[in-house]
Amino acid sequence: MKSLMLAAVADAAQTSLTVREIARPAPAQGQVLVRVHAAGVNPLDIKISTGAAAHARQPLPAVLGLDLAGTVVELGAAVDGFAIGDDVFGMAGGIGGAQGAMAEYIAVDARLIATKPERLSMREAAALPLVVITAWEGLVDRANVRAGQRVLVHGGAGGVGQVAVQLAKARGADVYATGSAGSLAFIRSLGATAIDYNAEDVDSYVQRYTDGEGFDIIYDTVGGSTLDGAFRSVKAYTGHVLSCLGWGQHSLAPLSFKGASYSGIFTLLPLLSGNGREHHGEIMREASLLADAGKLSIRLNERRFGLHEVNEAFLDVAQGASKGKTVIDVVTSPQRSGDDA
């Protein structure tokens, strides 16, 4: 096994990442060493690299990247359920001081990962973990989404949004999703009723699709005034608003007057606190089953980036240039002199 590996390192905030050799990690107890085939790029990675994500607790310099797909090449002590050669995926690093996935190898807590769906490529699998966990923790863990409910997803063509639509559909709900005019066809392709938020106001679509009663569940992935609108458009008493971007200043009065509920989603908490890591692995196993059943997919950025193009990939995400999830192909470099076999 090589003693060194290539990794994309953020040395300081507001500077370009550097791809260079660093020491290859060894798996500790409860960890597996994964050869990374693909690493997803999330907006949070960009925020960490610019110094705008104190909540991620990732001091620089650091190897970034939360999401990965790859192959297990070494087992630490006390690891059950995985074997060398297994293809896996998960959200397993890049915050809280842990090494991220934008490297040839990563040692990860085995509780955080699951076997990769056979139906998906490494690139597709690497694009899923953060958005799947974020959608699941809201719709399933907090709201228990189920058949007979009307679910509204704000930002249905986004990373979390498209997964939320598919997850609610898979659990039998009647799903609606907002988006811009250019995203409506994609939203419909996921099986949801598409709502152009520029062409129809909140009161209008609440009346049209719920006879004025409001939606049973609203998942907000946008924040700001969109979340304020969700408080007005949820069903009285039993309605539940969820948001993964509820960080601004909001009046809860419209929600309170309805006697409805609100839940904030903070997907990073198990990685930062150490509590609940097993549940992330459980979610990934459920996601793998859904993907192999043809009920879960992810739209990818058509542009491909290698590890040495990490800064171009970050710029692409920061500019919102792509309609799909950006993934970095982590390619094994030729053996370097001084490496172990």
- Per-residue pLDDT tens for 151-198? 999 999 999 999 999 999 999 999 999 999 999 999 999 999 999 999
Q: Assess whether 32 and 120 both reside in one domain.
A: yes
Q: Assess whether 214 and 323 both reside in one domain.
A: no
Q: Assess whether 86 and 205 both reside in one domain.
A: no
Q: Assess whether 23 and 79 both reside in one domain.
A: yes
CB atoms within 10 A of CB 235: 20
In a domain, 303, yes or no: yes
Q: Assess whether 103 and 138 both reside in one domain.
A: no
Question: Rounded to whole angstroms, how far apart are CA atoms 161 and 38?
Answer: 22
Question: Rounded to whole angstroms, how far apart are CA atoms 59 and 95?
Answer: 8
pTM beyond 0.85: the answer is: yes
In a domain, 315, yes or no: yes
Q: What is the dihedral of CA 275, 278, 284, 287, to 10 degrees?
A: -100
Q: What is the dihedral of CA 221, 222, 227, 232, to 10 degrees?
A: -80
CB 238 within 8 Å of CB 172:
no
Q: Assess whether 55 and 173 both reside in one domain.
A: no
Helix, coil or strand: residue 108: strand
Last residue of a domain, one of 264, 285, 309: 264
Q: Assess whether 200 and 314 both reside in one domain.
A: no
Question: Rounded to whole angstroms, how far apart are CA atoms 102 and 7?
Answer: 6
Q: Assess whether 157 and 119 both reside in one domain.
A: no
| Domain span at 241 | 131-264
Helix, coil or strand: residue 256: helix
How far is Cα of residue 137 from the mean position of the Cα atoms in its chain? Answer: 11
Q: Assess whether 48 and 149 both reside in one domain.
A: no
Q: Assess whether 15 and 123 both reside in one domain.
A: yes
Q: Assess whether 218 and 292 both reside in one domain.
A: no
For the chain, 341 residues long, give each residue's pLDDT as a single digit of tens.
569 999 999 999 999 999 999 999 999 999 999 999 999 999 999 999 999 999 999 999 999 999 999 999 999 999 999 999 999 999 999 999 999 999 999 999 999 999 999 999 999 999 999 999 999 999 999 999 999 999 999 999 999 999 999 999 999 999 999 999 999 999 999 999 999 999 999 999 999 999 999 999 999 999 999 999 999 999 999 999 999 998 888 999 999 999 999 999 999 999 999 999 999 999 999 999 999 999 999 999 999 999 999 999 999 999 988 889 999 999 754 333 333 32
**How many structural domains comprise the chain?**
2
Q: Assess whether 280 and 252 both reside in one domain.
A: no
Pairing type for strands 326-329 and 305-306 reads parallel
Question: Rounded to whole angstroms, how far apart are CA atoms 280 and 140?
Answer: 13
In a domain, 338, yes or no: no
Which among 33, 107, 110 is positioned nearest to 73, based on CA atoms?
33
In a domain, 143, yes or no: yes
Which CATH number belongs to the domain containing residue 170 in this structure? Answer: 3.40.50.720
Q: What is the dihedral of CA 117, 122, 125, 129, to 10 degrees?
A: 120
Please give the single-letter amino acid code of residue 205.
Y
CB 120 within 8 Å of CB 94:
no
Question: Rounded to whole angstroms, how far apart are CA atoms 234 and 230?
Answer: 6
Last residue of a domain, one of 264, 283, 300: 264
CA distances from 64 to 41, 72, 336 (A): 9, 20, 23
